Chains A and B, each alone.
Chain A
Amino acid sequence: MTEVLFFIFAAVAVGGAVGVVMSRSSVASLLFTVATLASTAGIYVLLEAHFLAAVQIIVYAGAVMVLFLFVIMLLNLGHEYRHDIRGNVALIMGFAVTGGIGGLLARQVGSGSAGLETNLGAGDAIDAALREHGAVGAIAQPLFTDYVVPFELTGILLLVAIVGALVLAKKAS
């Protein structure tokens, strides 16, 4: 059952990613991105990361993608269907670069995937933490003890981003 669900989600994710690259309209691209993000959230659930799956749907597929949609509407790009794939040189370069990365990944998977199946025991520890603290508590426990300084720095980063976005998007007086 888990395997079947995984392959369904994986197919939707890859199809969405292809759609993002191929579709002519920005709005269609954005909707394909939402499909990819949502099916990735499903894979998070299969990997026992329930809190991250919820955050992925609410923050990523919800808030960030709506922000993108607002910008597309604000700039009035919803009906722009012009062909915007680059010329031949960039096309060849793009396929060369992605073919290189894909070839390296395929070679790595072909040679070393046997070692990946050995369980290092962390999965059982995560399952125990999930049973003891719940889906949110298992993340919150290390986040507010060992990683509290990065957490606070993230808050400062968000503040800087809000102020920066306001200053950049404001009309020059």
Chain B
Amino acid sequence: MLAESLVLAGVIFVLGTLGVIVRRNVIIMFLCIELQLNAVNLTFVAFSRFVGIEGQLFVFFVMTVAAAEAAVGLALIISIFRHYETVNVNHFNLLKW
């Protein structure tokens, strides 16, 4: 089942990447980043069957970092939304040249 899990993780990761590149709604982009993290977690769990229980520990740490990232990122989104009144990333152009 390892090969199938790795293929599934690859497919989910690619779909997440596509979402981050293609969508303009910042919340959906953020959800796609969560999908990518989830795909990497699946790879870790699949390999932990073959390398050792450390893979599952890494998933634990990745989940913690993802929760922290979600909290800070959503706070940033709220802060930006107060200023621009939109979630479309095309309007966030302060750092563009």
Residues of A within 8 A of B (CB): 2-3, 6, 10, 13-14, 17-18, 20-21, 26, 29-30, 33, 36-37, 40, 43-44, 46-49, 51-52, 55-56, 59-60, 63-64, 67-68, 71-72, 74-75, 77, 80, 84-86, 90-91, 93-95, 97-98, 101-102, 105, 109, 113, 116-117, 119-120, 122-123, 125-126, 129, 138-139, 142-143, 147, 150, 154, 157-158, 160-162, 164-166, 168-169, 171
By the criterion CB–CB under 8 Å, are A109 and B3 in contact?
Answer: yes
Contact B50 A77 (CB under 8 A): no
In the complex formed, the residue of A with least CB distance to B36 is A17
Q: Are A26 and B56 in contact (CB under 8 A)?
A: no
- Asked if A122 and B17 sit within 8 Å, CB to CB, the answer is no
The number of inter-chain residue pairs (CB within 8 angstroms) is 228
Q: Using a Cβ–Cβ cut-off of 8 Å, how many residues does chain B contribute to the interface with A?
A: 67
Contacts of B5 in A (CB 8 A): 6, 43, 47
A101 touches B17 (CB 8 A): yes
B77: A residues at CB distance < 8 A: 71, 75
When distances are taken between beta carbons in the complex, the residues of chain A under 8 Å from B14 are 98, 101-102, 105
Q: Is the CB of A97 within 8 A of B17?
A: yes
Please tell me which one of the listed residues B12, B45, B51, B60 contacts residue A17 in the complex, with CB atoms under 8 A apart: B12
Residue B94 CB within 8 A of the other chain: no
Residues of chain B within 8 A of A95, CB atoms compared: 18
Let me know if B64 and A154 touch, CB within 8 A. Answer: yes
Name the CB-closest residue of B to A28: B28
A122 contact set on B, CB distance < 8 A = 48-53
- Once bound together, how far apart are the Cα atoms of A34 and B38, in whole Å? 11
Q: Which residue of B lies closest to A115 (CB)?
A: B3
Contacts of B28 in A (CB 8 A): 20-21, 26, 29, 84
* Cβ contacts under 8 Å, A3 to chain B: 1
Q: Which one of B10, B28, B32, B87 has the highest number of Cβ atoms from chain A below 10 Å of its Cβ?
A: B28
